[in-house]
Amino acid sequence: MCELLGMSANVPTDIVFSFTGLMQRGGGTGPHRDGWGIAFYEGRGVRLFQDPLASVDSEVARLVQRFPIKSETVIGHIRQANVGKVGLSNTHPFIRELGGRYWTFAHNGQLADFQPKPGFYRPVGETDSEAAFCDLLNRVRRAFPEPVPVEVLLPVLISACDEYRKKGVFNALISDGDWLFTFCSSKLAYITRRAPFGPARLKDADLTVDFHAETTPDDVVTVIATEPLTDNENWTLQQSGEWVLWWGGEVLAKGRV
Amino acid sequence: MCELLGMSANVPTDIVFSFTGLMQRGGGTGPHRDGWGIAFYEGRGVRLFQDPLASVDSEVARLVQRFPIKSETVIGHIRQANVGKVGLSNTHPFIRELGGRYWTFAHNGQLADFQPKPGFYRPVGETDSEAAFCDLLNRVRRAFPEPVPVEVLLPVLISACDEYRKKGVFNALISDGDWLFTFCSSKLAYITRRAPFGPARLKDADLTVDFHAETTPDDVVTVIATEPLTDNENWTLQQSGEWVLWWGGEVLAKGRV
């Protein structure tokens, strides 16, 4: 199994606090030693930092922890390999361009006997995760040859994720930089922080942040993770089949299949 | 104008020495303050480091200089903006997946009145460079719906580059991680280092490396740059219309249009 980390915010926000907690699980407090990656959107551009090394040993992870990149949308992942060897081409998140936007994707789980129809988008590595991402993009592209608003393509995302879930475990984060779509198959939790902000204490490292000192009263920041990252806040645990479409830290749409 | 940096080698080689020279031109000895980027292939995977900041001021550039990433194929770029604002989505190199491989691309020059036919690949940012890259990929995809060896698709690369050159200035580096294709429209130089290796002295920084101490006798490493990066070696200056297909540091094919 792997661990996911997502963020959707209405102002550029740094995710150093949550990332620090997640990175501890990459070979420190957790067994996820087979690489990690994190994608930060900056406008329509995206910065992707990845390493096939365990995050606790990774020089690139230390850079990301030191360097407070501010972003409105983030997707991160630490990996415990099941399908596909340890290596950069099998490291999440995966990126593809669709309709002039960079889409990013990270997955926790595994899919049994997953042989999607070949299409325009093709996996570079060997993971079932990247194969599912390419298949999902091929479905979107077949349904909508020209870009459409996310509300219009949402049913394609939901039905694809529901189908993948039936082949195993499929917790996933998908984004084009503006919206963030989350799908829970077995395990996913979130917290939305807004005024009045208080302190938050990491479960996996001796670190507390007082968000009151770091934010303005209008900030809305949602963090999504496989398991709650803090032990003094009320995270919402999602049920199997629950999906949420986030935008600017807020729920734009949600449902359950 | 921008500056290009490419490397093709027969063993994983670190490019810290050449990168250090190039980075000095990003706001230090040169005027290229509008961002920089470098893509390192690791197997079929690729690491992309980018920053819209001047390279001399960039925290990410310092990481890349400290952290000797070894790669057989590298494409780097520093930018002095002409078309498109300064920002991550306009920062080279650009990446797309084609046929299950990541293709990367960097360009020096500008194209006048360039309005390529829309296709499957679409630019995310506003540069003429990314528009040309997408157009080139669309041509390859139209000509070869299934992946083919580079020798087969080479004529498509050459004719596309020749066409772009007629619209302005088009010095470019393109790679899928195995091969590296270089096209000279106005300015491009290269050096192939092989045994017996000697010392090399950077023009742009007070730094000399003795490659003899860093290499084995079988290593072949070609470095391609807009202008020679060292002042004590014989670089080959390319002529307008010259193209080279590199593989493992060696010329696989070359010609002039």
3-state secondary structure A144-181: CCCCCCHHHHHHHHHHHHHHHHCCECCEEEEECCCEEE
- Cβ contact B45–A102 (<8 Å): no
User: What is the rounded distance in angstroms from the CA atom of residue A136 to the CA atom of residue A160?
Assistant: 6
User: What is the rounded distance in angstroms from the CA atom of residue B105 to the CA atom of residue B138?
Assistant: 14
pLDDT 10s digits, B27-49: 677 676 788 899 999 999 999 99
Nearest to B97 among A66, A90, A124 (CB): A124
User: What is the rounded distance in angstroms from the CA atom of residue B2 to the CA atom of residue B76?
Assistant: 11
- Cβ contact B88–A42 (<8 Å): yes
Higher-pLDDT residue of A82, B208: B208
Residue B197 pLDDT more than 80? yes
- Please count the residue pairs, one from chain A and one from chain B, whose beta carbons lie less than 8 angstroms apart: 79
The total of other beta-carbon atoms located within 10 Å of residue A55's CB is: 29
Kindly state the tokens that stand for A54: 């365990």
Cite the DSSP H helix spans in chain A. Answer: 16-24, 59-66, 128-143, 150-165, 211-214
Higher-pLDDT residue of A136, B15: A136
Mean pLDDT confidence for A37-62:
87
Strand-pairing partners, residue A70, are: A14
Q: Any idea which of A3-12, A236-245, B27-36 has the lowest mean pLDDT?
A: B27-36
Q: Which of A111, A126, A85 is nearest to A186 (CA)?
A: A111
* Per-residue model confidence (pLDDT) at position A165: 96
Residue B26 pLDDT more than 70? no
Mean pLDDT confidence for A5-13:
95
Residue A238 pLDDT more than 70? yes
Kindly state the tokens that stand for B91: 């920062």
Mean pLDDT confidence for B52-76:
84
User: What is the rounded distance in angstroms from the CA atom of residue B141 to the CA atom of residue B100?
Assistant: 12
Beta strands at B101-108 and A199-201: parallel, antiparallel or unpaired: unpaired
Mean pLDDT confidence for B211-218:
87
Helix then strand then coil, % of chain A, to nearest 5: 25, 35, 40
* Per-residue model confidence (pLDDT) at position A99: 96
- Cβ contact B44–A121 (<8 Å): no
User: What is the rounded distance in angstroms from the CA atom of residue A139 to the CA atom of residue A131?
Assistant: 12
Higher-pLDDT residue of B21, A220: A220
* Per-residue model confidence (pLDDT) at position B205: 80
* Per-residue model confidence (pLDDT) at position A65: 80
Residue A67 pLDDT more than 90? no
Residues of B in Cβ contact (< 8 Å) with A122: 97, 99-100
pLDDT 10s digits, A90-147: 999 999 999 999 999 999 999 998 989 889 999 999 999 999 999 999 999 999 999 9
With a pLDDT cut of 90, the percent of chain A lying above it is 69
Per the CB < 8 A criterion, the answer to whether B243 and B256 are in contact is yes
* Per-residue model confidence (pLDDT) at position A69: 83
Residue B153 pLDDT more than 70? yes
Mean pLDDT confidence for A207-214:
84
Residue B100 pLDDT more than 70? yes
Residues with Cβ within 8 Å of B213's Cβ and at least 6 positions away in sequence, in order, are none
User: How far apart are the CA of B130 and the nearest CA of chain A, in angstroms?
Assistant: 11
Higher-pLDDT residue of A206, A251: A251
Count of domains observed in chain B: 1
> Quick check: helix, strand or coil at residue B38?
strand
Full residue range of the structural domain in which residue B136 is found = 1-254
Q: B1 falls in which pLDDT band (50, 70, 90)?
A: low
Fill in the DSSP letter of residue A204. Answer: S
Per the CB < 8 A criterion, the answer to whether B94 and B133 are in contact is yes
Any idea which residue has 């900056």 for tokens? A42
* Per-residue model confidence (pLDDT) at position B86: 84
What are the phi and psi torsion angles at B19 (to 5°)? -60, -40
Higher-pLDDT residue of B220, A34: B220
Per the CB < 8 A criterion, the answer to whether A172 and A240 are in contact is no
Mean pLDDT confidence for B50-68:
81
Does residue A161 carry a catalytic annotation?
no
Return the CATH number at B48: 3.60.20.10
- Cβ contact A95–B95 (<8 Å): yes
Residue A30 pLDDT more than 70? no
Nearest Cα residue in chain A from B42: A88
* Per-residue model confidence (pLDDT) at position B108: 95
Measured in residues, chain B has a length of 257
What is the enclosing helix (H) or strand (E) of A74? strand A70-78
Nearest to B125 among A44, A89, A122 (CB): A44
